[in-house]
Structure 1
Amino acid sequence: MDEQLATPSAYKPTVLLVDDEESILNSLRRLLRGQPYEVVLAGSGAQALEIMAAQPIDLVMTDARMPAMDGATLLAETHRLYPATSRILLTGYADLTMIIKAINEGQIHRYISKPWNDEEMLLVLRQSLEHQFSERERLRLEHLTREQNDQLKALNATLEKRVLSRTSELQQTADMLDLAYDELKRSYVTGTEVFSLLANLRLPKEKQTNRPLIELIRVYCKAQSMDESSVRDLTMAAALYNVGKLSWADRMMIAPSDLLHSTDRELYRTYPTQSESLLMTLEPMKDAARIIRHHQERWDGSGFPDHLKGDGIPFGSRLLKLAVDFIELQRGLILERNMNSDEALLYIRKYAGRLYDPDMVEDFVQACAAFLSDVTLGDPSVKVLGTRELAAGMVLARNLNADNGMLLLNAGKVLNLPLVDKLIAFEAMEGAKYSVFIKEPEEPAPSL
């Protein structure tokens, strides 16, 4: 085994695929044809255990729903008997109980939904095996460190010079171990991002939030020069903040939260704690799980689940709240209509001190302006006016849409008095209140 670890390029991992449907196994075998893996197939959990007893297996990917022994039970038994084997659950069902059982008892590394995306499937397999190699390398280095410590004790009494030399070698080994552990933690971040992409397949593309949320969090953290550990925890929290929603019905997954009633609203308020409970069993995820638990708390104490207030809310949760609401307001997941980016930032500014940390809002606006090219609110030359404050000659900084999404005026339009009067009349007829983004005209260059 040590020889294999020392030369990973010469080692070809063995992947065991388990499904009671032969067509699925054939599809997976075709997908993995040409990949640098030995592929072994099993039609049941019992057959899979027989194969693992007869030969080393690096990774097991099993269907969740199988007769006699389901996937979660097989992975739990695999974890008990062969803890070093990577474990992946493959299922077409949004079965939270099955997922929790697989995580808690089988300690699975990944969860993949059917139907799968071929490229994502190959990425998950590659990353799982890379993670396994990193873990084996870490254990190898730990073993090496223990051996060197024993040698150091034996030499300590008589060989002062060799002690000094061995101490130097030991420090180098410790540095290598730190690097391996850092790589392991980075692989967790990558794993959470891949899982979030798979979980997002439950939603229509226009309702997906996790990818832009991760990127926005990174932009904010970079602007604030935050430390690597905080960035890692915030990135994982952004990737998995809504994992507790996976057991919901599709209609509720895409419904605006402000329109939910009675039972649905009560279920909605449990998703931060559900997300936390799914992640707490994973040691590198504990800080991210705490951020997720409190990201729906409000600055004035009216949030959930614990009604924390002000600085009592963890900083990471306050930031995640800003980012989640900014993205979800644009996806129609909070209010009935989809806001544009500037309208979402106006909403956040309006509720600073009630929903959001007032000291973070302006830094967040600047991060959004750096993140999205269509954000004009960070431009000091752009003003937000009501229709009755408009005047002839003003120029629109961005498109003006009605509440139903209809385009009223294009960005760059120069206003005149008849057009302003029409806007006021239309606003009154619709019972709406428009925020109009106006760009101040540039002053002409002085004549020579």
Structure 2
Amino acid sequence: MTSIDQLELLNQQPPSILCLDDEANVLKSLVRLLRQYKFDVSVSTNGEDALEKMQNKQFDVIISDMRMPHMSGADFLAEARKLAPDSQRILLTGFSNLESTISAVNDGGIHAYVQKPWQNDHLISVIKSAVEKFRLKKQNEILQLHINQQNQQLKELNSNLEQLVDKRTKQIRSVLKKLEVANESEKREHQSTVELLYNFINANPYLDGKIAESIAGTCTQIARYLDVSQKSITLAPMAGYLAQIGLLAMDPELYNKPINKLNDVQRKTFYTHPSMSQLMLMPATHLSDVSDAIYHQFERYNGKGIPKGLAGNDIPIGAMVLSVARDYWDHYEQSDSLLTTKQRHEAALSNIKVNSGSLYHPRIVDALEASHTKLIASDSFIGSIKVICAQELEENMILANSLHSHTGIMLLPKGHIFNTKSIIKLQQLEAKKPTPFRIMVKTAK
């Protein structure tokens, strides 16, 4: 039975009252009065019988007369306290029993006493108050147990997650380290590193490599319209390709369903993936700018983002570009699939523009809008397009669509400008294939 079930059961059960008195008429009066208020009443005429009933049932309230043969009310309540310390104990006493009442207070730990003959309204008020105290204490115990269980589950989850993250991080960092050693003389060839890591994303069944490719392309277009350095233009798509690399070190349960379906703990963990990306990319020192862009991708122009709450131009420009491109495609994917492609692009742009100056840098939103026509037309590839095999490739041809192996691994990204080196590599790969590549290219303007 869960803690919630225990709470519901406690609230549904009528309060149980045990009445002890050696006079049958007194017990009848108590039963008649208490049952009017829907109490579950049990009675005993001696202390031994009452204690036996307490061993078989839990009572909210125990009411005992003081003067009884064999076992006084004070003695009974002292024993009752040992058996059921949480049950509320009420003593019925006469005016002449002050000394015994004091003994019951000290030894029996009574919570209230009512003098005989009692007033019905007063007695019911005292009993209701006692029931409330008993149930509040029980509810607190159940909730505390529930909290302790949840804390233990969370502790175990965090422990397992830390082990998984540590294992996967070590694996990916090991690959990066080997890549660094093997290509020490070619550290500046960023693209090969990015393509390798992008293949990790593309091979994961829960991550969409096509979306990463679209984000990367939009990052490039925005960077060009911002009139930034050639280095920034080169780095811009890399952040788009690798924006989700940190998710590879996390449990797929955190990213194989929409964020709004995650609970608070899972959502908080999910938003740590940029930090995980930074850890993974640390050995690739030549990608430090890309790493910074990914780490700060959830910062907001108004300073209300994470992880550092940076605002305005304090946010790395690569992170601001990535944020706009990522959210643009997020809005696009969430838009009505019955709309035309152009309408979905326009809806995505509208969502970005409405948050210009708050979530996003106005200059970057303007750059997105300026490149929007090109973005919509990107699938149509304005210019001369043809499909050729690797043997027909020439230098300066531009790859019009990303080139993948038969297993889905990306070999070259869209927009790659062919050179002697990439042409030779593709021709070597094609020679090992039973059929030639079908490569969509356009000539450079």
Scaled by the length of structure 2, the TM-score of the pair is 0.42
Larger Rg: 2
Specify which structure has the bigger relative contact order, considering alpha-carbon pairs within 8 angstroms and separated by 6 or more residues. 2
